[in-house]
Amino acid sequence: MKYYLYLDECGDHNLANFDPSFPIFTLCGILISEEDDLPLNTKIVEMKRKYWGEKKVILHSRDIRKYGRLNDDVYGLSLSFIMERAVYYLDGMNDPDAQLQVIVEKRGKREDASLLSYYNEVFDRGTYFVNSERFKKYFKGFEFRNKKEDIIGLQIADLAAYPITRYVLDNEAYNRAFEVVEGKIYTQNGRRHGMKIFP
C-alpha cells in the first residue's frame, strides 16, 4: 500500500533569536494511506462547500494567527524525528509493500533546497535509531507543493500543528482543538511515539 506523509510547521525555527513568549517549534506530520486519502479529501471538500460555498478555500492557520520567522536547522532536526516515527509506524503495519511519499509545502528556493538536503542526508545516512536501509525501504519520494494547489493533507498538517504546539507550551490549559487531534497521534503500547518533545 502507498502512504503519504504531509508536513507543515508551527512556531519559530530560530534558536539564536527566538520570541520568548512563544519559544517553540513544531513540525507536524500527517501520515495517511492512499486508500484513506480520497475519503479525507471528499469530507474536507464537503465541509468547505458547506461553510464557504466553494472548495477553493485554502485552510491555513497562519491566516488565523501569525507565527514567527523560520530557521532551517530546527526544521531539519525535526524532520529526522518525524521520519523515524513514520518508519516505526510502518514497521508496525507489517505491510512488505508499504511505500511512503513525503509532501511538503513550498517555502522558497533556498528553504526548499535546504530541507531537501536534510531529507537526503537522513535518507542516505540514517539516524542514531534508524539506519538508511530502513528509510530506503519505505521512503520512495519527496516533493514540494504550492499552497495554492489546495492539498488537503498539507492543510490538515497545518491545522493540527498549532493545537499541538499550544499543548506543549501549557498542557494544563483548555485546548479543545488538541482534544480533537490527540486521539490521532501515533501511540504504541500506551506510549505516544508520534509526539516528540525535544529537548
Q: Can you say whether the dihedral through the CA atoms of 30, 35, 38, 40 is positive or negative?
A: negative
Task: Classify the phi-psi angles of 108: left when phi > 0, otherwise alpha if psi is within -120 to 50, otherwise beta.
Answer: left
Each residue's pLDDT expressed in tens, for the chain with a length of 199 residues? 899 998 888 776 666 666 777 778 888 888 899 999 989 888 888 887 776 665 666 665 554 333 633 344 677 788 988 999 999 999 999 898 999 999 999 988 988 998 898 899 899 988 888 999 999 999 999 999 998 898 999 998 988 988 999 999 899 999 999 999 999 999 988 888 899 887 6
Give the count of beta carbons closer than 10 Å to the beta carbon of residue 50. Answer: 8
C-alpha grid cell for residue 71?
A: 530557521
pLDDT of residue 23: 77
Domains in the chain, start-ordered, CATH in brackets? 2-182 (3.30.420)
pTM: 0.68
Q: How far is CA 15 from CA 68, 73, 74, 110, in A?
A: 12, 8, 8, 19
Omega cis (within 30) before 23: no
State the Cα angle at 193 between 31 and 43, rounded to 5°.
30
Q: How far is CA 22 from CA 28, 41, 186, 192, in A?
A: 17, 32, 25, 23
What is the distance between the alpha carbons of residues 125 and 198, in angstroms, rounded to a whole number?
21
Give the count of beta carbons closer than 10 Å to the beta carbon of residue 51. Answer: 9
Please identify which residue in the block is written with the cell numbers 501515533: 186
Helix, strand or coil, per DSSP, at residue 9: strand
Contact 119, 142 (CB under 8 A): yes
Helix, strand or coil, per DSSP, at residue 84: helix
**Closest to 89 in 3D by CA, of 44, 137, 127, 122:** 137
pLDDT of residue 64: 37
pLDDT of residue 1: 86
Give the count of beta carbons closer than 10 Å to the beta carbon of residue 39. Answer: 10
HSE value, Cβ hemisphere, 13 Å, CA-based, for 169:
19
C-alpha grid cell for residue 184?
A: 490521532
